Amino acid sequence: MFRRRVTGNHRPPSPSPSPCSTVTHHHPPHLSLLADKCTSMRQLQQIHAQMLVSATIHDHFAASRLLSFSALSPHPDLTYASKLFHTLHHPNMFMWNTLIRGLALSPNPHQSLLLFIKMRRKGVTPGKHTFPFLLKACFSLQSVESCKQVHSQVLKYGLDLDLHVVNSLIRGYSVCSSLGDARQVFDEMPERNVNIWTTMVCGYAQNDHAGEAITLFNEMVGRRFEPSGPSLSSVLSACAQIRVFRHGGKDSWIYIGEGV
């Protein structure tokens, strides 16, 4: 699609060009593919400039590659990412989520919540991937009130039964030491997977509620959920807290043996 046909007056047809042929040399790979291979912001800025010149920046896929690198790379430039985002016409949900996620992981996670508010004012409907990123911002801020506000939006958009969203809510409340709210979300979930059980067990253990952690762990095992590494670590930590290692239960030691 991006190669120019090569013809000659008296030459027979040449074989299909290899990736290293002169045809490919004169026509570099699509700019969005180059953006995926960036290793520095300087490289990204050069590709961005080429996209502006060629009008490729109006292609959402190409623009999203730039945004992903500038917001989520190991050394992000969120100022650049924000400026880029605000030059885009009608950013799609992936783009909103990318910047929300990058800001949630930044030293200023409240900016993630402000961007969400702006998204709603523009009439953009959040998806199930939006809320876990917002909740990362909430527990980075240690803000129970922010968790509750996000929770209300989860309910509004009917995502209160989504396993990934619910798991993030339980973790958010637990990190903010609001175990009553975390347990309410847990209890209201009719179908729980092992991740949700593990997050609630860990929440109890990390907030020094050793007895509740052990009780819930035993209930999880009783319901035939195989404990994961984090849940085992949490329950053993809880056992250590109350100095009754044997109370951790025979099952916990069996599972440790199976995992070795």
pLDDT single digits (tens) 101-120: 999 999 999 999 999 999 99
| Residue 13: exposure state from Cβ atoms within 10 A (0-12, 13-18, ≥19) | exposed
pLDDT of 234 reads 78
Task: Give dist(CA 160, CA 184) in Å, integer.
Answer: 12
CB neighbour list of residue 105: distance below 8 Å, 6 or more residues apart: 72, 136, 140
Task: Give dist(CA 258, CA 29) in Å, integer.
Answer: 50
CA 226 to chain centre: 25
Q: What is the mean pLDDT of each run of 10 residues along the chain (260 residues)?
A: 42 42 40 63 72 65 84 92 90 96 96 96 95 96 96 96 97 96 97 94 91 90 86 75 50 39
| Residue 194: exposure state from Cβ atoms within 10 A (0-12, 13-18, ≥19) | middle
Residue 144's nearest CA partner among 179, 195, 105 is: 179
Task: Give dist(CA 250, CA 226) in Å, integer.
Answer: 14
Tally the residues of the chain.
260
The pLDDT tens digits for 46-67 are 777 777 766 666 667 778 888 9
Task: Decide if 193 contacts 218 (C-beta within 8 A).
Answer: no
pLDDT of 45 reads 73
